[in-house]
Amino acid sequence: MNQPDEIVIVGAGLIGLSLAAALARNGIQVSVLDTNPRPELSAEPKLTTRGNRLDAGGISRVSAVNPGSQIFLSQLGAWERIDPSMVSPFYGMEVWDGRGTSRIQFGEVGSTAASPLGFIVANNRIELALIEVLEELDNARVDFGLGLADLKREETGYSVALSDGSTRCCSLLVGADGGNSKVRDLVGIRNVSWSYKQTAVVTTIQTAEPHGQVARQCFTQYGPLALLPLSNPHLCSVVWSLNDPELLLGLDDEAFCRELDENFEHETGSVLAVEQRTSFPLQQQHALRYISDHVALIGDAAHTIHPLAGQGANLGFADARILAQVLAAAKLEGRGFSEKSVLARYQRQRGPANLLVAGAMEVFKRLYDTDNPGINWLRNAGMRFIGEHGQLKSLIIRLASAS
Ligand SMILES: Cc1cc2nc3c(=O)[nH]c(=O)nc-3n(C[C@H](O)[C@H](O)[C@H](O)COP(=O)(O)OP(=O)(O)OC[C@H]3O[C@@H](n4cnc5c(N)ncnc54)[C@H](O)[C@@H]3O)c2cc1C
């Protein structure tokens, strides 16, 4: 039998693990489980190329971690466990309209003297650092290869039926189980969702010129294309959100490199080689509530947004940080974790903030998804206006840095 106040988190992705670590660090008994096996690091990536095919060790799933999330991960004791040579800070950001004339620069393009705007890190490195933290704490338990099968409402919380036939009781159940959250569905929290009708093609490329620790994004004829600088100065992670993925997914490596060159306007010299491509269908969704009786949702289980500004995980880390703060305060006040007024504090703090970012992403997506000449003019004028007003740029950076 569990401790009476044990919190069970379903989903040991970036966000579920960070919440578990934040709770355990506050002396709260917590367990987290995931259907996936424990993540692993591939052997030290060796860079090889054959023709236009790159093998960079399969590091294609990375996140742009903003400074607010980096501080949170550092407070959890996870950030310092990530091999620094695998963390790539970026100091500048360039955004331009491939079909227009406008271009904005943020931060210090060409300099590393300023503070970084963010850090590109492989997701599995962050996950493993958080798992190491949890494995050292007596009040935390992490189980991989174990899924949520069903839920039964009990008087004092939930009885969680697991895929191995066992059950776990908890007074607070946290759904950190991603966009297709089973927790959200089983407890009946309604969700508004729609497909962006885009698929993100993700890969790693090798370029002739160094990236200069600048993150770049171009709004191309096919959809937004982001190049995120990796620790090797000639490697970038590519996220290309495509309206019609078949057009580019079917290309061989040489033709794909050529498309990248043409659409990216040779910003980092020619694209020499590309790793195997993977794809993710994109959709926007938002749970109508993040909380229910004895339940809270965090991360993608609560909200999924377009990856064009690299904010999804950052919003999730902020959810985890605030929920942990709210629950730690409840513990100090001698209140139950699942009291409505306790969970409502979390909903109040995170709901509007997440909706604001989701709304902004929607506007961006729509503005750049049209060839209407009036809208083209408007977005180029808007970009130029932002580019010419330093205070506005600083405000955007501050907002994007904190989530
Ligand atoms: C192409 C792309 C690029 C992105 N780039 C960025 C970026 O640069 N910066 C950024 O901030 N965000 C980025 N994002 C968004 C970011 O990846 C997500 O917001 C983030 O990974 C969500 O984490 P999560 O832990 O909430 O969910 P997930 O990563 O989906 O994790 C959910 C976990 O729950 C587990 N699970 C599911 N069902 C069950 C069950 N029934 N029982 C047990 N376990 C279960 C899954 O196995 C999984 O491990 C990007 C997204 C995409 C698609």
Which pLDDT does position 2 carry in this prediction?
Answer: 46
Q: Is the CB of 261 under 6 A from ligand 1?
A: no
Q: Is the CB of 13 under 6 A from ligand 1?
A: yes
Question: How far does residue 286's CA lie from ligand 1's centre (Å)?
Answer: 14
Residue 83: what residue type? Answer: D
Question: How far does residue 176's CA lie from ligand 1's centre (Å)?
Answer: 9
pLDDT (tens place) for every residue of the chain, 403 residues total: 445 458 999 999 999 999 999 999 999 999 999 999 999 886 666 788 888 998 887 656 899 999 999 999 999 999 999 999 999 999 999 988 877 667 788 887 666 667 899 999 999 999 999 999 999 999 999 999 999 999 999 999 999 999 999 999 999 999 999 999 999 999 999 999 877 788 999 999 999 999 999 999 998 888 889 999 999 999 999 999 998 888 888 899 999 999 999 988 788 889 999 999 999 999 889 999 999 999 999 999 999 998 888 899 999 999 999 999 999 999 999 999 999 999 999 999 999 999 988 888 777 767 666 666 666 666 666 666 666 666 665 666 666 666 6
Domain ranges (residues) in the chain: 7-402
Question: How far does residue 394's CA lie from ligand 1's centre (Å)?
Answer: 29
Q: Ligand 1 pocket test: pick from 10, 61, 63, 241 the residue with the most ligand atoms within 8 Å of its Cβ.
A: 63
d(CA 308, CA 362): 10
Question: How far does residue 14's CA lie from ligand 1's centre (Å)?
Answer: 7
Instruction: Give the chain's radius of gyration (CA, Å).
Output: 22
Q: Is the CB of 172 under 6 A from ligand 1?
A: no
Which pLDDT does position 129 carry in this prediction?
Answer: 98
Which atom of ligand 1 approaches the CA of 14 most closely?
A: 25
The protein residue with its alpha carbon nearest to ligand 1, atom 1, reads 200
Q: Is the CB of 36 under 6 A from ligand 1?
A: yes
Q: Is the CB of 280 under 6 A from ligand 1?
A: yes
Q: DSSP string covering 228-293, please?
A: EE-SSTTEEEEEEEESSHHHHHTS-HHHHHHHHHHHHTTBTB-EEEEPPPEEEEEEEEEES-SEET
Ramachandran angles phi, psi of 41, nearest 5°: -95, 135
Find out whether 318 and 69 touch, Cβ atoms under 8 Å. Answer: yes
The protein residue with its alpha carbon nearest to ligand 1, atom 30, reads 178
Question: How far does residue 9's CA lie from ligand 1's centre (Å)?
Answer: 14
* Cα distances (angstroms) measured from residue 207 to each of 93, 165, 213, 224, 255: 18, 50, 13, 19, 15
CATH classification code of 7-402:
3.50.50.60
Which pLDDT does position 403 carry in this prediction?
Answer: 62
Question: How far does residue 130's CA lie from ligand 1's centre (Å)?
Answer: 15
Q: Is the CB of 11 under 6 A from ligand 1?
A: yes
The protein residue with its alpha carbon nearest to ligand 1, atom 20, reads 313
Q: Is the CB of 148 under 6 A from ligand 1?
A: yes
Please give the model's pTM, rounded to 2 decimal places. Answer: 0.93
Q: Is the CB of 202 under 6 A from ligand 1?
A: yes
Angle between helix axes 67-75 and 14-25 (nearest 10 degrees) is 50
Which pLDDT does position 21 carry in this prediction?
Answer: 98
The protein residue with its alpha carbon nearest to ligand 1, atom 17, reads 313
β-bridge mates for residue 93, sequence order: 106, 215
Locate all alpha helices (DSSP H) within 136-252, ordered by sequence.
Answer: 182-187, 245-249
Q: Ligand 1 pocket test: pick from 177, 227, 311 the residue with the most ligand atoms within 8 Å of its Cβ.
A: 177
* Residue 2: how many other CB atoms lie within 10 Å: 17
Question: How far does residue 42's CA lie from ligand 1's centre (Å)?
Answer: 20
Question: How far does residue 387's CA lie from ligand 1's centre (Å)?
Answer: 32
Question: How far does residue 209's CA lie from ligand 1's centre (Å)?
Answer: 32
Q: Ligand 1 pocket test: pick from 17, 31, 34 the residue with the most ligand atoms within 8 Å of its Cβ.
A: 34
